[in-house]
Amino acid sequence: MSAPEEKTAGNFIRAIIDQDMETDKWGGRVVTRFPPEPNGYLHIGHAKSICLNFGLARDYGGRCHLRFDDTNPVKEEMEYVDSIMDNVRWLGFDWNDHQYYASDYFDQIYQYAVELIKAGKAYVDDQSAEEIRATRGTLTEPGVNSPYRDRSVEENLDLFERMAAGEFPDGSKVLRAKIDMAHPNLHMRDPAMYRIRKVPHHRTGDKWCIYPMYDFTHPLSDSRERITHSICTLEFEDNRVLYDWFLDQLELYHPQQIEFARLNLEYTVMSKRTLLEMVNQGVVAGWDDPRMPTLEGMRRRGYTPSAIRNFCEMIGVGRRDSWVGMDKLEWAIRDDLNPRARRVMGVLDPLKVVITNYPEDQVEMLDAPYFPDDPPKMGYRQVPFCRELYIEASDFMEEPYKKFWRLAPGREVRLRWAYFITCQEVIKDDSGRVVEVRCTYDPATKGGDAPDGRKVKGTIHWVSARQNLTAEVRLYDRLFNDPRPTGHKDQDYQAFLNPDSLKTIEAARLEISLAAAEPGQHYQFERVGYFYVDPKDSAPGRPVFNRTVTLRDSWAKLVKKGKAR
Ligand code: ATP
Ligand code: MG
């Protein structure tokens, strides 16, 4: 097991807030917000922002708002709103009464736009989007003023009202801030404030056919909600000047914007556009496919909220863009499941074992602790032992390599919680494949210890071949076999899909106690991995198991062998 490298003892944002508390900058208030656009499902990157914003509110006795930034009616849906709320709660956070929608502010935002027009600080531009883009200039060249820039206040007011009344077609006019077309910061070159979009909105219906731009809406929403610390990712650093400009012109309350580095996680993709594309193209089974980096997917895979919170704590919050290895997330998952998952036995690739000296009709019920490190913690279940068993095919080798300590001809091993057995004979089919192994057992070794002190090197898991649960088991692995699938100029990210990201085992043989497994339960199949009872596809008495994570980091080994990157 690899230990996490980072440990967070505070972070630079906490240092800022500590100082604000000392200087009484905000009168002791800490008000943050998590502002998703409801145009997709939340992913692990959002979790970092959620843990940060809600965590700060919790630790400083403040509050965190959930605000839907729903300014783009074309891509937004209620389905996403519902899932976002559900996932934030699932992560363990609560916004109480503080749920807001930017669309609730549309009337007010419109009034602010009118105010700016009246002050001669906004104008209606008839140029097309392409013309505006072409005259914006570059980092080294100033932009060109629009021929409509010097319209009178009266004309601008009239045109803006008529835009809102639906008199003009989509794209024929925009309202722009009148700042400076030669400003070194491109965001300040007369950015658009309103555009015409004749589409109904998921909340305001047909009321509006003009919609405020994100960059105009966002600072106004933050200001109106009296946010103290407006925390966002680094790419908004250059927008800050514009946000401040709007608030200054309108003489409104200023939150303090603080930027931090977004989470980039290896072996996956996180852009909503790419995730949507994979869902639409059927590359994955849906937004909640357990291989997706979405919270819906991770939930279904068996990742727990506390593991995700610990992971976010572990990776810390900084100002430098960096990549986080998938092994860190997997470490956090194991660390969280280890003390809570019941240990059971399941054979994924069964090989039959016949105990030739065990009475034909006898069945013994053996006591096996669910948590061997501390048996009273989770108690015991009984596993039936009889003459015919299944073991994992990979636990037998006819010609064992040097350090193979498991079953082989003439070799004695321990069956977990049961007896020592010795391999006496190998049965093969016509093609030479081993189909059965015949063994003898030592009745004196019941429970797994030899009274004469005799030792064996291998302990293997098993299930009764007569009483077991035949179940579907899904072995999930990383979706991509390259750490940065979208980082290749000459190749599409889909070229790096891991062909082994899902292996479905139709008929694994699991210990019979698992027939009572319920959706949402976590198990460790000893020696095999952590598994989660799929909440969607399981039926009473017919659980389906999703592999949450392997027991150790096997990927590093694959990379070493050249079988993965
Ligand atoms: P897009 O802008 O493409 O729709 P987005 O990832 O910015 O996608 P939002 O819904 O706007 O999606 O994000 C909501 C919040 O989550 C934002 O405040 C954003 O800063 C934060 N966030 C999004 N992705 C990450 C990430 N990878 N790491 C940390 N925070 C993130
Ligand atoms: Mg965004």
Q: Is residue 86 part of a domain?
A: yes
Which of 136-140, 147-151, 318-322, 383-387 shows the lowest per-residue confidence on average (mean pLDDT)?
A: 318-322
pLDDT of amino acid 557:
73
Tens of pLDDT, residues 300-349: 999 999 999 999 999 999 999 889 999 999 999 999 999 999 999 999 99
Tens of pLDDT, residues 50-78: 999 999 999 999 999 999 999 999 887 88
Report the percent of the chain where pLDDT is more than 90.
Answer: 94
Over residues 93-115, the mean pLDDT reads: 98
DSSP state of 446: T
114 with 160, same domain: the answer is yes
91 with 108, same domain: the answer is no
pLDDT of amino acid 10:
79
- Atom 4, ligand 1: residue with shortest CA distance: 37
- Range(s) of the domain holding residue 276: 1-98+225-337
At 161, which CATH number?
3.90.800.10
Tens of pLDDT, residues 440-450: 999 999 998 99
For a mutational test of ligand 1's pocket, the pick from 32, 42, 49, i.e. the residue with the most ligand atoms closer than 8 A to its C-beta, is 49
348 with 322, same domain: the answer is no
For a mutational test of ligand 1's pocket, the pick from 13, 46, 227, i.e. the residue with the most ligand atoms closer than 8 A to its C-beta, is 46
400 with 382, same domain: the answer is yes
Sorting pLDDT into bands at 50, 70 and 90, what band is 549? very high
The helix or strand, by DSSP H or E, that contains position 433, with its residue range, turns out to be none
Sorting pLDDT into bands at 50, 70 and 90, what band is 561? confident
Distance of CA 46 from the midpoint of ligand 1 (Å) = 6
Residue position matching structure tokens 């006591």: 367
pLDDT of amino acid 8:
41
Distance of CA 275 from the midpoint of ligand 1 (Å) = 13
Closest ligand 1 atom number to CA of residue 49:
30
454 with 358, same domain: the answer is yes
Q: Is residue 543 part of a domain?
A: no
Tokens of 146: 């629009």
Residue position matching structure tokens 């800050």: 240
Closest ligand 1 atom number to CA of residue 270:
27
> pTM for this one?
0.94
The CB of 49 under 6 Å from ligand 1? The reply is yes
Is the pLDDT reported for residue 555 higher than 80? no
Choose the final residue of a domain: 469, 499, 522: 469
Choose the final residue of a domain: 317, 337, 357: 337
Distance of CA 270 from the midpoint of ligand 1 (Å) = 10
237 with 88, same domain: the answer is yes
The CB of 43 under 6 Å from ligand 1? The reply is no
Tens of pLDDT, residues 152-182: 999 999 999 999 999 999 999 999 999 999 9
Q: Is residue 404 part of a domain?
A: yes
Question: Strands 412-415 and 420-428, how do they pair?
Answer: antiparallel
174 with 231, same domain: the answer is no
Over residues 368-396, the mean pLDDT reads: 97
Over residues 108-132, the mean pLDDT reads: 98
152 with 90, same domain: the answer is no
Burial class (CB in 10 A: 0-12, 13-18, 19+), 155: middle
For a mutational test of ligand 1's pocket, the pick from 11, 33, 37, 75, i.e. the residue with the most ligand atoms closer than 8 A to its C-beta, is 37
Q: Is residue 518 part of a domain?
A: no
Q: Is residue 514 part of a domain?
A: no
* Closest by Cα among 103, 101, 100, 123 to 113: 123
170 with 237, same domain: the answer is no
Q: What is the mean pLDDT of the chain?
A: 95
Q: Is residue 134 part of a domain?
A: yes
Report the residue count for the chain. 565
Over residues 534-562, the mean pLDDT reads: 89
Q: Is residue 206 part of a domain?
A: yes
The CB of 515 under 6 Å from ligand 1? The reply is no
Tens of pLDDT, residues 391-428: 999 999 999 999 999 999 999 999 999 999 999 999 99
pLDDT of amino acid 565:
72
Q: Is residue 369 part of a domain?
A: yes
Ligand closest to 65 (CA) is: 1
Ligand closest to 40 (CA) is: 1
The CB of 270 under 6 Å from ligand 1? The reply is yes
Residue position matching structure tokens 């998938």: 326
pLDDT of amino acid 75:
82
Report the percent of the chain where pLDDT is more than 70.
Answer: 98
Over residues 21-43, the mean pLDDT reads: 97
pLDDT of amino acid 5:
37
Over residues 213-218, the mean pLDDT reads: 98
Choose the final residue of a domain: 337, 360, 387: 337
Is the pLDDT reported for residue 249 higher than 50? yes
The CB of 35 under 6 Å from ligand 1? The reply is yes
Which of 105-109, 210-214, 555-559 shows the lowest per-residue confidence on average (mean pLDDT)?
A: 555-559
55 with 118, same domain: the answer is no
pLDDT of amino acid 518:
97
The CB of 36 under 6 Å from ligand 1? The reply is yes
Catalytic residue ranges: 37, 262, 272
At 42, which CATH number?
3.40.50.620
- C-alpha to C-alpha distance for 516 and 533, rounded to whole angstroms: 11
Tokens of 130: 């392409």
* Closest by Cα among 308, 337, 306, 303 to 324: 308
Tens of pLDDT, residues 254-269: 999 999 999 999 999 9
pLDDT of amino acid 76:
75
354 with 465, same domain: the answer is yes
pLDDT of amino acid 6:
34
Distance of CA 75 from the midpoint of ligand 2 (Å) = 13
203 with 246, same domain: the answer is no
Q: Which amino acid appears at position 472 of this protein?
A: E
The CB of 37 under 6 Å from ligand 1? The reply is yes
Domain count, the chain: 3
- Atom 21, ligand 1: residue with shortest CA distance: 46
Ligand closest to 259 (CA) is: 1
